[in-house]
Amino acid sequence: MLDSFEILSTSGVVLWSKTYVPIGANVINSLIKDIFIEERAGAAIDEDIAQKPTYKKEGYTLKWTTAKDLGLIFVAVYQSLIHLSWIDKLLDNVRALFTELYRDDLKKRNTTSFKCNFEPYFDRQVQELEKLDGGSSIAAQSSTSNSAAELTPPSTSSGADEPPPPPLPLLKAAGQKTFSEHAPSTDSTPIPTPDTSRPASPAVSHLLQAKQRPTSRRARKAASVAANSAPASSGDESPMYKSQTLRAKKARKWDANGMADEEDDTVLDYSSAGRGDESSKDAGPTSGVEAVSSSSWGTRTGKGEFVLKELDDEMDSIISSANAKKASSAEASGSSGLVGSSLGAITGLFRNVVGGKTLTKEDLAKPLKGMEDHLLNKNVAREAAVRLCESVENDLVGKKTESFTSIETTIRTSMETALRKILTPTTSLDLLREIQSVTAPSSSFLSSNPSKPRPYVLSIVGVNGVGKSTNLSKIAYFLLQNRYRVLIAAADTFRSGAVEQLRVHVRNLKELVTREGGGAEVDIFEKGYGKDAANIAKEAVDYAAKEGYQVVLIDTAGRRHNDQRLMSSLEKFAKLANPDKILMVGEALVGSDSVQQARHFNEAFGKGRGLDGFVISKCDTVGDMVGVIVSMVHATGIPVVFLGVGQHYGDLRGLSVQWAVRLLMQ
Amino acid sequence: MNQRLEDLLTKAWGPSLPVIIVTAIVALLLPILVHTFLYRARTPTSLPSFLLVGPSGSGKTSLLTVFENGSPAPTHLSQTPSTVQVQLPPSTKADSQKYRSEHDPTAKQRPKFLIIDTPGHGKLRNHAFEQLRKPQPHLKGIIFVVDSASLSSDTPGRSAAGLTEAAQYLHDILLLLQKRYTGAKSSKGPPELPVLIAANKLDLFTALPAQLVKSALEAEITRIRTTRAKGLLDSAVKDETLEEEREWLGDGGEGKFEFGQMEEVNVPIKVVGGNVIGADGSDISGWWEWIGEQL
């Protein structure tokens, strides 16, 4: 069964929600984070064309749909164990209902406050769909709602002769301060309504009837809620219930200002048929006490049924009109007369120049293809390019172009945003700051017992020949300039000459260090060839801790990313050496293989451990075709930490997102 | 055919009544249409505005709802910025009305202003930076919301992730504000742009008091500043313009950073505590007061 249903805006405010079983806010937060913001492709989304996308988290399944033009997200949460087939329909129906009913309120600018009485609509929808499904029923009595205008009356609690229980507007009083001032006056309403006896004089009864008319809509609503949440009340209490709601209504009429009231007025409009019916029944109120009372009894129960029916009709009409609109728009775009199409083409062209054109999938198809080709030319892997274009399409379909902007410009801006979003790291990339916190734990004013300093371990992995050793020595040089004592561990025990290569680097670095002076120091830790790399790495870390080195850089053998045998040794390596950071070197020259490389290396370290960042080497050789940066980040969601931009030790750079986006969009 | 066309054209250029009427209608309606088309989306007023920034989960959107309605609404992660019109509560007086007499009816008017809420997620901070790069002339101040319960660290020695994130974000914002001052064209410099650091969630047991929040952020920014100074160059920087491109926050980037140093670049910073959600309701009077001072 459904656990929770929420309607929230993209700015983060929950507009309406209904909770059957309380769930943590973090479930929906992680949905927004993973799907909407970080757009993690692999985050357990079942790609099914016919169904809405789902997202699973902590035993819950979330389904959602969006209303782009109003910036709304509709999320349904239920337990993964239960299979609910009607959620898709519920989401669609609720979206149609909600957007139709409150479109004007939602379009209001500069406000977050939003009040609605959506509860009866929602409950009816759920009940209906469940009936269709024949599935389990929802425990409605356990439901709590934080809808601002809750209307549930205390329908079953009133006995025959008790004074009326706190009138239901008091429920609302908390929300509306002004109400409390009038509350006493409603309590002292001079109509004595002892429920068993009818009003003594016909005049009073007439008054009662007259008053009833403008407000009866509320009674019906309240009754519908009551009927939803509780079994039908017995006949005895009905007149009393009625008078009670009458009073409440009067008070509301006076005080309620703003949306809630307007909303009710619009509902009133729908009910013209029902009202006519009612007035014909009430045509002769002066005929006698008995007659009135019996008719009111009769209508009361009849009304309850009738109201529900009508609410359904209203909902159905809204939903069907929304569907019809959708269908007609689809039809219009598909087949229209010669005149219509040419006129449409002309206004379309005009709109394209001036702006204000509502974008459709067809409008976007051609420019997006061009954009995709452009990205492919920039050496972005096809997979990443397609995904970027899809995200742009999702972003733009249904939106209006700005004044004096063409579709192409709009797509361009949207693509820049998408690129910036994908490249911007979510975690801090300040390597020095991390090293500092590990090697010299700050005597922060809060910590009583600082942890023991230990060496910071950084290891580098990658495919053969991408420049692992070269970039390792560049990083070493950068750390040496910051006066760290660095140990380089030669854990490439496979390729001949690998240790010698590192030895040469260390000799050069030593020379540079002595020239510059300061406390920096660099050395190599080597155990020759043929031994197990993971053990050497472990020994190197122990050695560094003993000798007081601050940073250990571990070089590893290059390996092909789709060679299972070679990749499996990485898991042991990660376990034994336990590096603080594992960086993968990828070259900017590689094409679409970069996606697979990044994925395979990211998964190679076993559960709970992945790559921490990328080093993209040889960036100076590709000019503006830096698409590999996007491909790799796309594949894993892991940020690019360093860029290699030349042959010298100093040619190491951090990634500037602005720069990358500019190059890619050139 | 040709003859008829000529006739028509002659008529169209002649001073006949229909032509005059059509011309008059076009001449009158065109400017109105253009105006409505271009300006229908613009906000007509230019209210003073405040920018709401801070790391994700610090309570920006909740604070926004409290500012607007007086009670917090349930919120989730924001994806888009939102602008909300807010009125100063009657208990707080705007600074511009300080010298008005008690009985002056205009003093009763509660000034209106806008609050711009920005998403705090790392990938979406662009919205806030955009606002600061070209600040609107009506921007009266920046409210940096920070979750003071996330600043104290569980593991001794390491500073909490929340502190690092908040300090980094604050550092970037202050650096932008400093650039606004140092990069100003006129000799007068840009107008004052005060920053309020709103230490939120003070109702929680683990929360630091406002004074400790201040010193924790200052210490962390000092550390960030030193590592940034030693860090690598951006890929965007060309080798020829090595040192000119970079800027340090505060006094040349040396020594300890204090918020007081920012006053040199016309950015006074104040740290005030409060809580949006709490057992005894929300306590945001200190923040209202600060807003009142800026209006």
Res B42: pLDDT: 58
Which of B77, B121, B171, B217 best tests the A interface by mutation, with the highest count of A CBs <10 A? B77
Dihedral sign from CA coordinates of A270, A273, A276, A281: negative
Lowest mean pLDDT among A219-223, A589-593, A629-633: A219-223
Res A101: pLDDT: 82
Whole-angstrom Cα distance, residue A237 to residue A243? 10
**Do residue A494 and residue A643 come from a single domain?**
yes
Residue A20 predicted with pLDDT over 60? yes
- Indicate yes or no: CB of B73 within 8 angstroms of CB of A25: no
What integer is the mean pLDDT of A285-309? 44
Please list, residue by residue across A65-102, b when 16 or more beta carbons sit within 10 angstroms of its beta carbon and e when fewer do: bbbeebebbbbbbbeeeeebebbbebbbbbbbbbbebb
**Do residue A465 and residue A400 come from a single domain?**
no
What integer is the mean pLDDT of B79-108? 78
Res B212: pLDDT: 87
Distance, in angstroms, between A435 CA and closest chain B CA? Answer: 10
Higher pLDDT, B110 or A269: B110
Residue A666 predicted with pLDDT over 90? no
A29 vs B65, B76, B157: nearest CB: B76
Contacts of A14 (CB under 8 A, 6+ apart): A6, A7, A8, B73, B74, B75, B76
Res B203: pLDDT: 85
Residue A494 predicted with pLDDT over 80? yes
> What pLDDT band is residue B246 in, cutting at 50, 70 and 90?
low
What integer is the mean pLDDT of A342-360? 70
Percent of chain A having pLDDT more than 90? 11
Res A106: pLDDT: 77
> What pLDDT band is residue A222 in, cutting at 50, 70 and 90?
very low
> What pLDDT band is residue A331 in, cutting at 50, 70 and 90?
low
- Indicate yes or no: CB of B76 within 8 angstroms of CB of A428: no
Residue type, B112: K
What integer is the mean pLDDT of B23-47? 79
Res A228: pLDDT: 46
Whole-angstrom Cα distance, residue A590 to residue A481? 31
What integer is the mean pLDDT of A172-176? 39
- Indicate yes or no: CB of B82 within 8 angstroms of CB of A619: no
> What pLDDT band is residue A138 in, cutting at 50, 70 and 90?
very low
Instruction: Name residues 240-279 of chain B within 8 A of A (Cβ).
Output: none
Res B25: pLDDT: 94
Res B83: pLDDT: 85
Lowest mean pLDDT among A302-316, A365-379, B174-188, B192-206: A302-316
Higher pLDDT, A25 or B221: B221
Confirm if A14 and A73 have CB atoms less than 8 A apart.
Answer: no
What integer is the mean pLDDT of A541-564? 90
Res B237: pLDDT: 59
Res A340: pLDDT: 56
Res A583: pLDDT: 92
Instruction: Name residues 355-414 of chain A within 8 A of B (Cβ).
Output: 356, 403
Please list, residue by residue across A638-659, b when 16 or more beta carbons sit within 10 angstroms of its beta carbon and e when fewer do: bbbbbbbbeeebebbbbbbbeb
CB atoms within 10 A of CB B252: 9
A13 vs B73, B123, B232: nearest CB: B73
Task: Tell me which residue has tokens 């609410």.
Answer: A311
> What pLDDT band is residue A328 in, cutting at 50, 70 and 90?
low
Res A445: pLDDT: 46
Lowest mean pLDDT among A77-91, A260-274, A367-381: A260-274
> What pLDDT band is residue B41 in, cutting at 50, 70 and 90?
low
Asked if A619 is an interface residue toward chain B (Cβ–Cβ < 8 A), one would say yes
Higher pLDDT, A22 or A266: A22
Which of B61, B76, B172, B212 best tests the A interface by mutation, with the highest count of A CBs <10 A? B76
Res B240: pLDDT: 44
Higher pLDDT, B233 or A640: A640
CB atoms within 10 A of CB A113: 18
For B269, the enclosing helix (H) or strand (E) is strand B269-273
Res A429: pLDDT: 78
B61 vs A13, A356, A425: nearest CB: A13
Mean pLDDT of chain B: 81
Tell me the per-residue pLDDT of B218-229, one tens digit each, with 9 for 90 and over: 888 888 888 887
Q: Tally the domains of chain A.
A: 4
Residue A335 predicted with pLDDT over 70? no
Res A338: pLDDT: 54
Asked if A17 is an interface residue toward chain B (Cβ–Cβ < 8 A), one would say yes
> What pLDDT band is residue A456 in, cutting at 50, 70 and 90?
very high
Lowest mean pLDDT among A13-27, A288-302, A411-425: A288-302
Contacts of A447 (CB under 8 A, 6+ apart): A441, B153, B156, B157
Dihedral sign from CA coordinates of A505, A506, A511, A517: positive
Higher pLDDT, A164 or A507: A507
Distance, in angstroms, between B81 CA and closest chain A CA? Answer: 6
Nearest to residue A215, comparing CAs of A170, A160, A278?
A: A278
> What pLDDT band is residue A330 in, cutting at 50, 70 and 90?
low
**Do residue A229 and residue A375 come from a single domain?**
no
Residues of B in contact with A432 (CB under 8 A): 227, 230-231
Distance, in angstroms, between B88 CA and closest chain A CA? Answer: 15
Mean pLDDT of chain A: 72
Whole-angstrom Cα distance, residue A183 to residue A176? 11
Percent of chain B having pLDDT more than 70? 88
Residue B290 predicted with pLDDT over 70? yes
- Indicate yes or no: CB of B231 within 8 angstroms of CB of A431: yes
Distance, in angstroms, between B27 CA and closest chain A CA? Answer: 20
> What pLDDT band is residue A310 in, cutting at 50, 70 and 90?
low
Residues of A in contact with B69 (CB under 8 A): 112-113
Q: What is the number of alpha carbons within 13 Å of residue B289 lying toward its C-beta?
A: 10
Residue type, B281: G
Res B46: pLDDT: 74
Contacts of A636 (CB under 8 A, 6+ apart): A598, A599, A602, A610, A611
Contacts of B89 (CB under 8 A, 6+ apart): B70, B110, B288
Supply A370's token pair: 């061009």
Give a yes or no: residue A385 inside a domain.
yes
> What pLDDT band is residue A50 in, cutting at 50, 70 and 90?
low
- Indicate yes or no: CB of A447 within 8 angstroms of CB of B215: no
Percent of chain A having pLDDT more than 70? 64
Nearest to residue B177, comparing CAs of B197, B194, B201?
A: B194
Residue A213 predicted with pLDDT over 80? no
Distance, in angstroms, between A116 CA and closest chain B CA? Answer: 14
Bridging pattern class, strands A613-617 and A640-644: parallel
Whole-angstrom Cα distance, residue B161 to residue A439? 17
Q: What is the number of alpha carbons within 13 Å of residue A26 lying toward its C-beta?
A: 3
Residue B171 predicted with pLDDT over 60? yes
**Do residue A419 and residue A466 come from a single domain?**
no
Which of residues A304, A338, A370 is at a domain's end? Answer: A304
ipTM surpassing 0.85: no
Res A169: pLDDT: 40
Residue A279 predicted with pLDDT over 70? no
Lowest mean pLDDT among A177-181, A490-494, B5-9: A177-181
What integer is the mean pLDDT of A420-441? 82
Tell me the per-residue pLDDT of B133-164, one tens digit each, with 9 for 90 and over: 877 778 888 999 998 888 876 554 556 778 88
Query: A74-83, A394-403, B23-32, B46-55 — which one is most confidently predicted on average?
Result: B23-32
Res B238: pLDDT: 54
> What pLDDT band is residue A544 in, cutting at 50, 70 and 90?
very high
What integer is the mean pLDDT of A231-254? 44
Nearest to residue A239, comparing CAs of A185, A169, A201, A294?
A: A294
Tell me the per-residue pLDDT of B267-285, one tens digit each, with 9 for 90 and over: 889 898 888 887 777 788 8
Q: What is the dihedral of CA B215, B218, B224, B230, to 10 degrees?
A: -120
Instruction: Name residues 330-359 of chain A within 8 A of B (Cβ).
Output: 354, 356
Give a yes or no: residue A318 inside a domain.
no
Res A562: pLDDT: 87
Confirm if A15 and A72 have CB atoms less than 8 A apart.
Answer: yes
Asked if A482 is an interface residue toward chain B (Cβ–Cβ < 8 A), one would say yes
Res B247: pLDDT: 66
Per the structure, the complete domain to which residue A217 belongs is given by 169-180+210-304
Res A286: pLDDT: 41
Contacts of B103 (CB under 8 A, 6+ apart): none
Asked if A481 is an interface residue toward chain B (Cβ–Cβ < 8 A), one would say yes
Bridging pattern class, strands A521-525 and A72-79: unpaired
> What pLDDT band is residue B21 in, cutting at 50, 70 and 90?
very high
Asked if B9 is an interface residue toward chain A (Cβ–Cβ < 8 A), one would say no
A37: domain CATH number?
Answer: 3.30.450.60
Domain B49-294 top-level CATH class: alpha beta
Bridging pattern class, strands A485-491 and A456-462: unpaired
Name the residue ranges covered by the structural domains of chain B: 2-39, 49-294
- Indicate yes or no: CB of B228 within 8 angstroms of CB of A449: no
- Indicate yes or no: CB of B236 within 8 angstroms of CB of A71: no
Whole-angstrom Cα distance, residue B275 to residue B282? 6
User: What SS3 state is found at B133?
Assistant: helix
Res B228: pLDDT: 80
What integer is the mean pLDDT of A30-54? 65
Whole-angstrom Cα distance, residue A452 to residue A534? 24
**Do residue A268 and residue A138 come from a single domain?**
no
Contacts of B231 (CB under 8 A, 6+ apart): A430, A431, A432, A654
Whole-angstrom Cα distance, residue A204 to residue A190? 11
**Do residue A516 and residue A473 come from a single domain?**
yes
Higher pLDDT, A112 or B221: B221
> What pLDDT band is residue A524 in, cutting at 50, 70 and 90?
very high
What integer is the mean pLDDT of A515-536? 87
Higher pLDDT, A160 or A312: A312
User: What SS3 state is found at B217?
Assistant: helix
Residues of B in contact with A403 (CB under 8 A): 37-38, 41
